[in-house]
Amino acid sequence: MTQANQTAERSSSAGAGTKTVAVVGATGAVGAEMLRCLETSSYPTGSLKAFASERSAGKRFKFRGRDVEMQVLTDDAFAGCDVALFASESDISKQYVPIAVRAGAYAIDNSSAFRMDASVPLVVPEVNGALITPTQKIYANPNCVAAIAVMALWPLHQAGKLKRVIMSTYQSASGAGRPAMDELEESTRAYLKGEAYPPKVLPHPYAFNLFSHNTAIGADGYNGEEQKVVAELRKIMGLPELRVGVTCVRVPVLRAHSMAITAEFADKVSVDQARAVLSKAAGVKIVDDREKNHFPMPIESGGQNDVLVGRIREDISDPTGHSLALFISGDQLLKGAALNAVQIAERLA
């Protein structure tokens, strides 16, 4: 199909002024959230194509009051599409993102396939949205930890020039997809009944337990998740020399990741200044009530578009006074994945 025919198909299928959107991996935890985000988004979706595995093919669901049927992904799936959102594994993205682009679509990929490709922007719109341009066809969605953390770190960097970040993460089951969420629920029920539950999805018992993130440990002693966070924070913020140390831990929470962060700055940033900066930052909500001991919690950040930031205090271990400690929590399936992808699409509309 020629480019002219593809443009004509987009116009006729979506209607004047509207767009045709494809969602790949539409039945997964992230894909399902992409559909929900699209439904309430300002992106002018006139026609939706949803792709999933063969076992889901033919299933129907409602999108903006209309029936949509799940389809199996094929090489001609993206004909007439304006944008393709990928909530797929890396191998699927590597195969089909170039196909989507050749069909004339923008491709926004949630996998790790293109994140460290020098030709592909790794985008959090509130941070580096200027990289979203009509001529750039492929965009990478960051790792969920990096996407959530940078929402707090970037505004603070503007105030004090970030030098070093030390993080410990408390990552929910949603980061490992729907099977891990199911395993947490099922293993918790079994634990409370005193029944054995051999882990099937994750390497260790999940109920009432926590363990190092379930990615392979490298020769440097850091697991794959930690290595991603270091590299991606540097790329998103354009700080290739930023010193980052991170420990990633899986905790028995269904949804939303939390992080304890200590940030060191070249210029001193006071607690009051940090609160003022973060209170004005897009996509951030301050939850910092010392009197009531009320700070960010996954039970409150889950389902929210905003990243919650609190426990803002001076790091008393830094005698120079140039370091702050804080605690944040954000929905891994939203700002850490689906919402961020849809926000990129909105900038392309």
Task: Give the whole-angstrom CA distance, residue 272 versus residue 32.
Answer: 39
What tokens does 261 get?
A: 């962060």
Query: Which residues are CB-contacts of 70 (< 8 A; sequence separation ≥ 6)?
Result: 26, 27, 50, 51, 52, 56, 57, 58, 59, 60, 61
Polymer length of the chain? 349
Do residues 336 and 147 touch, judged by C-beta distance below 8 A? yes
Q: First vs last Cα of the chain: how many Å apart?
A: 23
Q: Which helix (H) or strand (E) holds 331?
A: none
Strand 66-72: give its sheet, edge to edge.
60-63, 66-72, 45-52, 19-24, 83-86, 106-109, 138-140
The residue type found at 21 is V
Do residues 85 and 307 touch, judged by C-beta distance below 8 A? no
Q: Which sequence positions are flagged as catalytic? A: 144, 257
